[in-house]
């Protein structure tokens, strides 16, 4: 007879799928690599500095807070790393160190840990930080420089520029309509050769990352597809009837933070609905709000606000969109 | 070939190759070996003892008599002397009242059950219960208050590692078919189906050969756990949905496991009560086997018969890895519900470091019952049992898919097992108040 106090007693099941939260988070990091690479290519040392500082600050704040709460300091769920990269990608290349520090603090402490840490935050931490910085330091957050490929060798010169969406907004506000023809350099915004936040400049790199996440099953098509479709369903008719009041839909898609938002922010598992139908509602809401802000709002960009607003609806959506239980009649 | 299936489910590595070609061997017990036969090996009221200390009992002799409608008889699986009626370890109840019998005679005969009885009485007398795991007394299932038009023989065996049903299907095909025919005639059922998962092509082929002779249909099913769950099986095999909270007989269907059908055959044709069953012993044992084991045999005998442990056992599971229960001692006796003994070493166990839920939603898409585990988990933690009823916790079949897929390794199904018990208590109290 074998009787050992060390025979483990647990609930079933006794086997688990080999799919861990830390690995899911790591997949998101991998998916961001193309966009990170593009930003480093175009913004060189500026980009490296920002990535370095955000990673240091976010991990530091995370560790510090866990220490204060006497929890085991484990950064190995990789979620803080994802937040730090997303935050960095939402910052202008010339952000000063204190802006980055405040952003990291807001993202990790206010955005995530105060709610209970991993998985408990109702709002996307990186977006909470971005929006706070945008409102508190609008000038700092709208300081754009021309991308300069690393190979050009000029590491430190920074030529001021504007983002295509920002420029369009300014022209509409000051002149009532767009005056510059071909405001958006489409090839540029596809490849990354435009002014903007670190992570939003290359639509191509972001789409590649998004496809990787889709392929790995980390995200599903429901939010990205409905987001884009509902966004275009407002933008296209508006542009068709008032072509002088806004840039063309293709430019809307690829310039600015839409692709970053669609694939990496609006698909954040923690802050989006758990059911597929809920996700479709969420995506439609994001698309509509983004379009309305871009067309009629004071800000050139609407992605961050749209996602945060829809984040607030998630508990409600999850509560009311309950799938049909097997054999349930209703 | 139908590949229609239920929604959700998981695809764990089935590991059936370890024992699938091992012919069923009898586990021999010898003089002076002791078996402990529990009185409660079934769903419902425990049977009451009708033997006492120092009584001589024979193989097949009734030792526990069914109490009430939902209960089952228990018979001695050996010939010997009652050493005492004490508690034996049990994975569900912790400890369970059992008869300890010391073998005095290694006979192979068996006291026959009364053959003049009706079919239902024979099933009842033989102490037959559902051998798929739920151990629902079979005579209750076989006396439906409604007309049954479809009878499904469950040969799915979707639990990983287990091969006991598969071996029975391959080795005792005709006996199973005769048992099946018996039930069909007794309940005047038109439509008979044998459902087998597609990962058992040999079993499918053997049964196909008899399709004409016994007038039934083999339905191969998609390989997905829990395909063998009664409601999932019915949906996959005949595309019918059992209403929530109802039994399959509501829609004119009964399902019996192949092992159960075989015991019914044995009871009717050989007048033999249910005193043994096939158990797959696998995992970290020297020689994994499918053993025909007398009910009440302690687990260590099974391990010995398989050449002992490989390395140091860390977890011993009674049943399969998805729904099986852990035991604390190899003194635990085999019961009518024991389909397998699975031994895991430390290195076979998954990393169970639990993190917060990241709301990935995998459990929601995996749940074969259409439930929402992350929200139910919150209600369970906060003991909000009324809310849990609104979220249909009683529809949970405890298959474990949610826990299996959780990347944060949250013990989801464990919460729901507890919650179901609490909710049922509330329901019962309500019923009394009315």
Query: What whole-number distance in Å separates Cα of residue A164 and Cα of residue A168?
Result: 6
- Contact (CB<8Å) A119/B356: yes
DSSP H helices in B147-279: 164-171, 173-187, 201-209, 211-214, 230-238, 258-269
Residue of A265, A192, A261 whose CA lies nearest to A40: A192
At B1, is the pLDDT very low, low, confident or very high (cuts 50, 70, 90)?
Answer: very low
Q: Is A10 on the interface with B (CB under 8 A)?
A: yes
Q: Of A41-50, B176-185, B391-400, which gets the smallest average pLDDT?
A: A41-50
**Residues of B with CB below 8 A from A8's CB?**
314-315, 326, 349
**How confident is the model over B221-271, as pLDDT tens digits?**
999 999 999 999 999 999 999 999 999 999 999 999 999 999 999 999 999
Q: Which residue of A has its CA nearest to B89?
A: A3
Q: Is A14 on the interface with B (CB under 8 A)?
A: yes
Q: Is B407 on the interface with A (CB under 8 A)?
A: yes
* In chain A, % of residues over pLDDT 90: 61
**How confident is the model over A260-319, as pLDDT tens digits?**
999 999 999 999 999 999 999 999 999 999 999 999 988 888 899 999 999 999 999 999
Q: In angstroms, what separates the C-alpha of B164 from chain A's closest C-alpha? A: 19
pLDDT, averaged across chain B: 92
Query: What whole-number distance in Å separates Cα of residue B332 and Cα of residue B300?
Result: 8
pLDDT at A3: 61
Q: What is the mean pLDDT of residues A28-53?
A: 93
- Contact (CB<8Å) A326/B375: no
- Angstrom distances, CA of residue B420 to CA of A33, B135, B236, B410, B411: 46, 19, 26, 18, 15
Q: Is B242 on the interface with A (CB under 8 A)?
A: yes
Q: Tell me the residues of chain A between 87 and 146 that have a Cβ less than 8 Å away from chain B.
A: 116-120
Query: What whole-number distance in Å separates Cα of residue A259 and Cα of residue A284?
Result: 15
B83 sits in which H/E element:
strand B79-90
- Angstrom distances, CA of residue B67 to CA of B2, B23, B73, B117, B127: 42, 37, 8, 19, 12
Burial label, B356 (beta-carbon count in 10 A; 0-12, 13-18, 19+): middle
Q: In angstroms, what separates the C-alpha of A91 from chain B's closest C-alpha? A: 25
Q: Is B240 on the interface with A (CB under 8 A)?
A: no
- Contact (CB<8Å) B244/A327: yes
Q: Tell me the residues of chain B between 136 and 155 that have a Cβ less than 8 Å away from chain A.
A: none
**Residues of B with CB below 8 A from A20's CB?**
351, 407, 409
Q: Is A23 on the interface with B (CB under 8 A)?
A: yes
- The answer to pTM > 0.95 is no
Q: In angstroms, what separates the C-alpha of A129 from chain B's closest C-alpha? A: 20
Pick from A13, A269, A327: CB nearest B358: A269
The domains located in chain B, with CATH, are 1-28+110-349 (3.40.50.11540), 362-433 (no CATH)
């Amino acid at each position: 007879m074998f009787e050992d106090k060390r025979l483990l007693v647990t609930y079933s099941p006794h086997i688990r799928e080999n799919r861990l939260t830390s690995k899911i988070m790591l997949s998101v990091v991998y998916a961001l690599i193309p966009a990170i690479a593009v930003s480093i290519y175009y913004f060189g040392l500026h980009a490296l500095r920002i990535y370095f500082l955000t990673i240091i600050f976010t991990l530091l704040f995370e560790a510090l807070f866990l220490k204060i709460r006497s929890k085991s300091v484990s950064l190995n769920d990789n979620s803080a790393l994802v937040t730090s990269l997303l935050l960095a990608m939402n910052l202008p290349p010339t952000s000063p160190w204190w802006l980055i520090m405040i952003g990291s603090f807001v993202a990790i402490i206010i955005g995530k840990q105060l709610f209970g840490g991993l998985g408990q935050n109702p709002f996307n931490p990186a977006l909470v930080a971005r929006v706070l910085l945008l409102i508190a330091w609008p000038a700092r957050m709208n300081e754009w420089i021309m991308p300069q490929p690393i190979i050009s060798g000029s590491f430190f010169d920074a030529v001021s520029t504007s983002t295509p969406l920002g420029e369009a907004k300014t022209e509409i506000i000051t002149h009532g309509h767009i005056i510059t023809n071909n405001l958006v350099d489409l090839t540029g915004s596809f490849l990354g050769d435009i002014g903007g936040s670190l992570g939003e400049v290359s639509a191509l790199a972001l789409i590649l990352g998004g496809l990787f996440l889709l392929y790995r099953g980390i995200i599903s098509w429901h939010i990205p597809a409905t987001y884009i479709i509902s966004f275009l369903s407002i933008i296209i008719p508006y542009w068709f009837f008032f072509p002088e009041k806004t840039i063309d839909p293709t430019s809307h898609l690829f310039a600015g933070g839409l692709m970053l938002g669609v694939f990496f922010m609006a698909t954040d598992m923690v802050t989006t609905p758990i059911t597929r139908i809920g996700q479709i509602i969420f995506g439609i809401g994001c698309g509509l709000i983004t379009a309305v802000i871009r067309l009629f709002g004071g800000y050139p960009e609407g992605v961050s606000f749209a996602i945060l607003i829809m984040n607030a609806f998630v508990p409600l959506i999850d509560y009311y969109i309950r799938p049909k239980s097997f054999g349930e009649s209703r | 070939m139908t590949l229609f299936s239920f929604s959700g489910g998981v695809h764990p590595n089935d590991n059936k190759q370890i024992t699938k070609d091992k012919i069923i061997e009898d586990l021999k017990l010898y003089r002076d070996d002791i078996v402990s036969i529990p009185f409660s090996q079934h769903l419902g009221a425990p049977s009451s003892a009708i033997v006492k200390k120092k009584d001589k009992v024979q193989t097949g002799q009734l030792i526990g008599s069914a109490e009430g409608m939902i209960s089952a008889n228990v018979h001695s699986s050996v010939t010997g002397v009652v050493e005492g009626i004490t508690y034996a370890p049990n994975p569900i109840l912790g400890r369970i009242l059992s008869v300890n019998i010391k073998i005095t005679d290694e006979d192979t005969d068996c006291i026959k059950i009364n053959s003049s009885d009706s079919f239902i009485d024979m099933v009842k007398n033989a102490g037959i219960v559902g051998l798929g795991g739920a151990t629902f007394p079979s005579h209750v299932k076989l006396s439906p208050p409604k007309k049954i038009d479809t009878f499904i023989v469950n040969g799915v065996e979707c639990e990983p590692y287990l091969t006991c049903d598969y071996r029975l299907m391959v080795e005792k095909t005709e006996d199973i078919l005769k048992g099946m025919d018996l039930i069909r005639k007794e309940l005047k059922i038109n439509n008979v189906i044998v459902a087998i998962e597609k990962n058992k092509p040999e079993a499918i082929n053997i049964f196909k050969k008899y399709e004409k002779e016994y007038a039934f249909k083999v339905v191969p099913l998609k390989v997905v756990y829990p395909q063998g769950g009664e409601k999932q099986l019915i949906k996959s095999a005949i595309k019918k949905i059992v209403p929530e909270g109802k039994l399959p007989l509501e829609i004119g269907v009964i399902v019996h496991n192949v092992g159960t059908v075989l015991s019914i055959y044995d009871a009717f044709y050989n007048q033999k009560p249910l005193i043994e069953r096939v158990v797959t012993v696998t995992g970290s044992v020297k020689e994994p086997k499918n053993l025909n084991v007398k009910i009440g045999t302690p687990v260590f005998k099974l391990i010995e018969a398989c050449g002992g442990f490989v390395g140091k056992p860390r977890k011993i599971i009674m049943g399969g890895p998805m729904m099986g229960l852990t035991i604390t001692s190899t003194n635990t006796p085999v019961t009518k519900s024991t389909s397998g003994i699975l031994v895991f070493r430390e290195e076979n166990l998954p990393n169970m470091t639990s993190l917060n839920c990241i709301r990935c939603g995998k459990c929601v898409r995996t749940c074969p019952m259409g439930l929402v585990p992350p929200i139910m988990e919150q209600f369970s933690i906060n003991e909000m049992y009324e809310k849990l009823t609104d979220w249909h916790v009683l529809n949970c079949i405890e298959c474990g898919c949610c826990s299996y897929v959780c990347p944060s390794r949250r013990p989801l199904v464990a919460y729901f097992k507890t919650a179901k018990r609490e909710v049922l208590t509330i329901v019962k109290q309500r019923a009394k108040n009315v």
